[in-house]
Amino acid sequence: MSEERTEEQYVQEARNQGWKPQEEYSGDPDKWSDAKTFVENGEKIAAIATKQKKSLESRVQFLEQTNQELSEFHKKSMEAQRKQNETLMRQLNAERAKAIEEGDGQRFTRAEQAIKQLEAQNSEKRSQTVGPTEAWQVEWASENDWYDPGPNHDVEAKALADGMLPIIARETGYKDKALLDEVARRVRSAMPHKFKNPNRETSITDGKSVQVDSSKPAAKRSYEALPDEAKAACDKFVSQKLLTKEQYLADYPWE
């Protein structure tokens, strides 16, 4: 147990923190307090600030970890989709070659059309960009100053936005300002307490849904079919409003 401080010690500590005796105080008389009260109030405020800082640091660390896991999930999903497209392209090329060999014009036309459609889809995905362009980046930053360093910067909101961005890009196909506007909208929806005028009517799950490959039985793509580790990840992303359960199931790299 710490020793009780003397009145002189309280006075010295208080003076070091800017306190003045009543005869030297020129401010509002109702706001003056004695040295002991001044020091103890300061210690209480410091304790609260320390607690809040630790809570914020813990929250940011959790968000950064969650976003890292979300990024890894996104990479695995993209890799699985790439492999599926490569397999499908090989099958279609083989089908086209077989049609030529057998002189089946209708079969050839169907295979050729499917190949062109798949090539167009792959080309469109490659052309999509995630990051902003300089032409409008300043405008977006001025409307969303919570994202960039500055007096209104919010580390929690930024961490959530960084995690959402690649998922929303793939989910919606949005680019540039439209993409970041959607990210900002969803951040406001997920953290309404951080914004003065949150759009409470919108949902974090709004947006275009991801198409599911219907060639696989629905039962094999259900939540119950996920491994325990994937279920835990899904629950975490859903609780943080980064993905819906349906979006997770659609993006999961099924075997």
* pLDDT tens per residue across span 4-40: 889 889 889 889 988 999 888 888 888 899 988 988 8
pLDDT at 255: 64
List, in order, residues 6 or more apart from 183 with CB less than 8 Å away: 161, 164, 165, 168
* pLDDT tens per residue across span 207-247: 333 333 444 454 577 888 888 888 888 887 788 776 778 87
Q: Is 203 left (phi over 0), alpha (psi -120 to 50) or beta?
A: beta
pLDDT at 89: 87
pLDDT at 3: 66
Residue 58 to residues 29, 61, 65, 156, Cα–Cα distance (Å): 40, 5, 11, 10
Average pLDDT of the residues in 184-199: 74
Whether this model's pTM surpasses 0.75: no
Average pLDDT of the residues in 105-133: 73
pLDDT at 203: 34
Residue holding tokens 């209480």? 44
Q: How many CA atoms lie within 13 A of 100 on its CB side?
A: 8
pLDDT at 131: 46
Q: What is the DSSP letter of 244?
A: -
